[in-house]
Amino acid sequence: MFTYTVSVSTGKQEFAETINDIYLTLVGTESCSDRTLLDKSVVDHFARGSVVSVDINVKEILGDIVLVKLEKEKILFNDHWYCRSISVTTPSGDCVQFPCYRWIDFEKEVVLRDDKDRLSQDDNMKEYRRMELESRQLLFRWKEWHPGFPMSIDANSSTELPLDIQFEAAKSVDFSLNYITAIKNLGLNKFLKLSSWKDVADFEKIFVKIKNTVSEYVMQNWNKDYFFGYQFLNGCNPVVIRKCMNLPDKFAVTQEMVQGSLDRGLTLQEELKTGNIYIADYAILAGVQANATDPDTKQYLAAPFCLLYKNSQNEILPIAIQLSRQTTAGVGNTVFLPSDNQYDWMLAKMWVKYADFSVHQLVTHLLRTHLISEVFAIAMYRQLAAVHPVFKLLIPHVRFTIAINTAAREKLICKSGLFDKANGTGGIGIAEVIQKAMKTLTYKSLCFPEAMKARGVDNKEDLPNYYYRDDGMMVWEAVKSFVSDVVKIYYGSDETVQEDEEIQAFVQDVCFSGMKNCPKDCEFPNSLKTREQLVEYLTVVIFTASAQHAAVNFGQFDWFAWIPNSPSTMRKPPPTQKGQVDMKYIMDSLPDRGRSSWHLGAVWALSQYQDEELFLGVYPDKHFTEQSVIEATKTFRKKLGEVINIIKSRNEKLKLPYCYLSPDRIPNSVAI
């Protein structure tokens, strides 16, 4: 008799008193063990974080252990338990690891491969690889949730998702409960009655229980032009501002209008050529139907232009705002200026921030982090085997993404969902904005350096104090360096990339299935020819899910809590003439008490980290065991630590620190 000791490491479940029969089979190169029923007394000891061991006796040596097969029967009820990994100690004393990191449900058979990483072309067990992917493709099916959107998972509710990608606690994705809890915790229940505020100062009433340095700074400085401009660089939507070399045709601004705002003694045309003029253009909102889900309250949208000027003190200041875009200049194309009366200028800036909030919510945040990351996640599960090194590289960065998006489609952005309660782009507007944004979405716009260059904001000397850009570049380079190290370990040449059928299938699935509603010129690769292309692609996947999402998500409460700074809707039409606005009109335009409360509860809930959040570079599940990758991961963490220190040192000198892209504040994945 020969004895193999099998150690099973469990996790996540608190206890497992009712686990049904579990069978285990060892498969070696020479032979396999009998299907062995794990002793019930051993199974009953399965608990969170425990390790239990059993001996399997065989009559002959099995050879090299290459597979472990698990089966769990379903009797009267279905139960499940989480297996972290299995190790097998052979009679000679060798120990072979079999990573699992999945829930074991009632299934015919779960086959675990050993911990060696294998490209598809180098695997001598292709049949098991094929069976694994075919099984996953049945679970991870594409579905068009709404015409014109990126494709999503084929599931109508969170409970329909594969067990391995569900949230561990249902309350984590109960948006209704989270919003109501937030409203209660923030002391907002008394404000839910739908009536207008009387004065801007009234909004301070909903700050009673708020202790937040940034949001309080916003409350104190929101109406100052320098701070209005600052938010285009380092607020919650720092991706709209772009250098303006030529004024848009429908923008009726003239030299005479802005001359008093230019402090270098140059004309507007000269400032344009010099590169000191920037613009925020919300053309995507033109023609979008405002939220009409509440028949008692009419809501309005606009598609503003906002011209910004970098003055001699390197401040970004608004110098002209136009709220409409008629085909010809006229009364409808009124240009509001800092020299106008305080109410005209205040309301014009509010309309810009309202447009900015709307674009942030649906384009910057929802589409360009959540939905894009889900496409990458689904394609990964469908096309990359668990032993593929790229699967192991990416899996921490897709954690809970499909689950949070499914919950959002179920309760948040669905018809009559929670998004409709406070937002002017609710209702049909959600689909209209996403569909328009998809028509201009490109792969290169997800490459951080390319995105900066395309907007003309990549030069630090031209545009200083752009911390989103500066920190983003550091994190991008750290991620890219790590990905490059891993790619070089497994891909010895460009030909190796070309021969990897699973990688090619992965990018094809993203291009032809997940992003099929993008235009033909969207540039999403349908194949990868070089290691350099593979590195960039994987950097995009990781950066989008981690850093980009962190930059545009976790500051929502900071920047949007003070309602006048970022209204979620407007209840009066945008002004078309000057001198007709007073404070009452402004207060009647801003969200009423009920919508303000829902808005505040929403941005608070969305800004919270998950319980037991895992931050960038923290990978507790040991998918990789190759020493070279372990060393690359250590190097990655060291570089991230250096970035943290640089950001911390800079922030100590700032009145308002910028922390959203500090790696210790960046979760690995889109999970909220």
Nearest to 660 by CA among 315, 369, 228: 369
d(CA 396, CA 617): 9
469 and 243 Cβ atoms separated by less than 8 Å? no
d(CA 578, CA 576): 7
Which phi and psi (to 5°) does residue 229 adopt?
Answer: -70, -40
d(CA 576, CA 597): 29
Q: Is residue 370 annotated as involved in ligand binding?
A: yes
Neighbour count for residue 223 (Cβ, 10 Å): 15
Torsion on CA atoms 238, 244, 250, 253, rounded to nearest 10: 100
Pull the structure tokens for residue 669: 């994945």
| Cβ neighbours for 329, distance < 8 A, ≥ 6 positions apart | 252
| Cβ neighbours for 295, distance < 8 A, ≥ 6 positions apart | none
Pull the structure tokens for residue 501: 């059928």
344 and 578 Cβ atoms separated by less than 8 Å? yes
Nearest to 576 by CA among 252, 248, 339: 252
Sign of CA dihedral 332, 336, 342, 343: positive
Nearest to 414 by CA among 619, 145, 596: 145
562 and 215 Cβ atoms separated by less than 8 Å? yes
* b/e burial code for range 225-249 (CB count within 10 A of at least 16 → b): bebbbbbbbbbbbbbbbbbbeebee
Neighbour count for residue 146 (Cβ, 10 Å): 15
Sign of CA dihedral 161, 165, 169, 171: negative
Q: Is residue 549 annotated as involved in ligand binding?
A: yes
Distances (CA, A) of 647 to 108, 177, 479: 51, 35, 17
* b/e burial code for range 578-616 (CB count within 10 A of at least 16 → b): beebeeeebbebbbbbbbbbbbbbbbbbbbeebeebbbb
84 and 10 Cβ atoms separated by less than 8 Å? yes
Distances (CA, A) of 84 to 53, 100, 335, 585, 621: 14, 5, 62, 60, 8
Q: Is residue 365 annotated as involved in ligand binding?
A: yes
Q: Is residue 79 annotated as involved in ligand binding?
A: yes
Nearest to 174 by CA among 162, 188, 186, 159: 159
DSSP SS3 for 85: strand
Residues forming a β-bridge with 318: 308
Pairing assessment for the beta strands 22-28 and 2-10 based on DSSP bridges: unpaired
Distances (CA, A) of 574 to 3, 300, 348: 80, 8, 8
d(CA 27, CA 406): 38
419 and 413 Cβ atoms separated by less than 8 Å? yes
Classify residue 350 by burial, with Cβ atoms within 10 Å: 0-12, 13-18, 19+.
Answer: buried
Mark the binding-site residues, compressed into ranges: 39, 79, 365, 370, 549, 672
Binding site, annotated residues for Ca(2+): 39, 79
Q: Which residues are annotated as a binding site for Fe cation?
A: 365, 370, 549, 672
